[in-house]
Structure 1
Amino acid sequence: MQDQPYSRQIKGFAAPGFGSPHPARRLRGRPLLWGAGALAGLGFLGWLGLQVQPRPFPPAFPGPGVTRTVPLPAGLPGPVDRYYRQTYGERLPVITSAVITGRATLRPVPGGPTFPARFRFIHEAGRNYRHYIEATWFGLPLLRVNEAYLDGVSRQEMPRPLPSSTGDPKGAQAANLGLWSETLWMPAVYLTDHRVRWEAVDDTTALLRVPFGEAEETYVVRFDPVTGRPAMMEVMRYQNAADEAKTLWLNLTLSWAEFGGVTLPGKAAAHWLNQARPWAVFTAEQVTYNADVGEAVRGRGP
């Protein structure tokens, strides 16, 4: 019978260089494992916080609602006439203000994480607006955005490192288009505001001309051939204050919902053509009309 190696003769013992690694070698890799585990835990915690939806803002201050109507004008382009007749019938509500409240998902930085958010948009119809948005983590405010377009002047108050600005001409052009895009939650204004014009293109497309100071901006509005409702609004908009050229900006209606007996966008997305995905998706949960918003539209909070 051949002799067994000495390390095998003594159970539970292994000399350095035989069997198990030296204790110092076993300890050497543990900090790396601990670091990797900590990073994985932090990553999971960060991801988990982004799955928690914020509580909605309290209900908006009530307004008297629609108290006056006017006849639907004649001579509208085919898809425009079809949309308004199925939305309102023969008469249009006269809307002077609107407050749109809901929740959203936002990507403040292209390629960055998507944050749950809650929002309130306050409009003096066709004139002024203010946005208040809170991006959240575990339902708690992480980023607060206050931006407004008042009397033709834009104001953006963004958390650092995002840029803030006041009175920038390119910001005013972008804000003016934000105002008219969100008017889709009060679409009667596109017909009751004498500064707005529709022009025919074909059976499912029309041009929407909206004011911008003494000039005009033009949307291409594409209507769903089945539902007859606007599916997409396209317009050229400045993406950043430093840009020399405008970028195609798409407003997509992803779903529709009933608000006070009127079918309006339930979920809508804002998408720059040079980005792979929409940077924001807004889900409306409450729409209030004709409240006195003169003070609120010039305020700061929700």
Structure 2
Amino acid sequence: MFFLYLALGLLGLIAGGWIGLYIWPRPFPAYDAPQAKIETVPMPPNLPTPVERYMRAVIGKDVPLVHSAVITGRANMRFGPLPFLGRWRFVHDGGHNYRHYMEATLFGRRIMKVNEHYLDRIGRMELPVGVIDNDPKINQAANMTMWAEAMWFPSVYVTDERVLWEPLTAHSARLIVPFEEGEDCFTVYFDPKTDLILRMEGMRWRDSKDEKQILWRLEPHGWVTINGVKVPSPASVTWVPDGKPWLICHVEDIAYNVDVSRYIRQHGL
């Protein structure tokens, strides 16, 4: 009888833990800081047709000059076979620096946190298993992440003079972004019905020990309008060989043109 009770108790613990993986945490509070007035400029000429259509679909006729963004939300995460729910805040100095703070939760409570940043061209990842700092492969991966996340403040794709677009087809284009003294690129596919981004893909490093880059995909699964800008939410992040997303971000708040000069170099929320 003792072993029966023990087995039932263990099963109860396992079942309870599994249920805890599906309880959403409370959202982080919206970032509370003064937002500078957003000026606008005309849409640049000579953009590839699908790019111009996309920009008009998400920001309208004129282009807002956005130099920073603080993006807050919750997420579905996957670490190996285990799914988690979590919450996150991403801080961007548009096209130059960023930092991430993420929490994975159980029963809505934090069980793991991640601090990572890309500041002054140097990437740093602070994970529960250790720290990786200023590794060339991680620097490239971080730069790709920074430009991909600009989908949440898309005007930087046409206001940053370092960014180039090359036409590919009627519904795709190559996005060329700066990286150190050179460049990197994405292939961006657009929906012919909505003009919005279907997905963007690029080759990047997953780990500092990898021997070759992996195809990496970001894919919007819905769109919401926040502060006058149409942004993807939810949006998934997938290492294509894995076949399924490891992260799905649900955006809940974006603060544009706030002073992030000190906040972007902090840790935690």
Tell me the TM-score normalised to structure 2 length: 0.97
Q: 2:88 aligns with which of 115, 119, 122?
A: 119
Q: Partner of 1:53 in structure 2?
A: 24
Query: CA-atom RMSD, angstroms?
Result: 1.2
Write out aligned runs for 1:61-210 (5 A). Answer: 61-108=32-79, 110-111=80-81, 113-160=82-129, 163-210=130-177
| Alignment partners' CA distance in 1, 2:58 and 2:107 | 38
Contact 1:255 1:268 in 2 (8 A): yes
Tell me the TM-score normalised to structure 1 length: 0.86
- Other structure's SS at 2:115 match: strand
Q: Partner of 1:211 in structure 2?
A: 178
| Residues 224 and 63 (structure 1), Cα distance of their counterparts in 2 relative to 1, 3 Å cut | farther
Q: 1:273 aligns with which of 227, 230, 240?
A: 240
Contact 2:70 2:92 in 1 (8 A): yes
Give the superposition deviation at 1:142.
0.5
- Other structure's SS at 1:53 match: coil
Which residue identity does 1:195 align to in structure 2? R
Contact 2:219 2:237 in 1 (8 A): yes
Contact 2:59 2:228 in 1 (8 A): no
Deviations 1:114-161 (A, max 9, x none): 11100000000000000000111111110010000000001111113x
Q: Partner of 1:234 in structure 2?
A: 201
Unaligned 5+ runs, structure 2: none
Report which of the two structures shows the higher radius of gyration computed on alpha carbons: 1
Unaligned 5+ runs, structure 1: 1-29
Contact 2:59 2:230 in 1 (8 A): no
- Other structure's SS at 2:53 match: helix
Contact 1:49 1:137 in 2 (8 A): yes
Give the superposition deviation at 1:32.
4.1
Name whichever of 86-95 and 188-197 sits farther off. Answer: 86-95
| Alignment partners' CA distance in 2, 1:39 and 1:207 | 53
Deviations 1:33-79 (A, max 9, x none): 33431221111111121121111111102342442111101111111
| Alignment partners' CA distance in 2, 1:135 and 1:88 | 32
Q: Partner of 1:10 in structure 2?
A: none
| Alignment partners' CA distance in 1, 2:58 and 2:113 | 35
- Other structure's SS at 1:187 match: coil
The structure whose RCO (Cα within 8 Å, separation 6+) is larger is: 2
Contact 2:70 2:256 in 1 (8 A): yes
Q: What percent of counterpart residues are identical?
A: 43
Which residue identity does 1:89 align to in structure 2? G
| Alignment partners' CA distance in 1, 2:240 and 2:148 | 16
Report how many aligned residue pairs link the two structures. 269
- Of Structure 1 and Structure 2, the greater strand share is in 2
Contact 1:63 1:289 in 2 (8 A): no
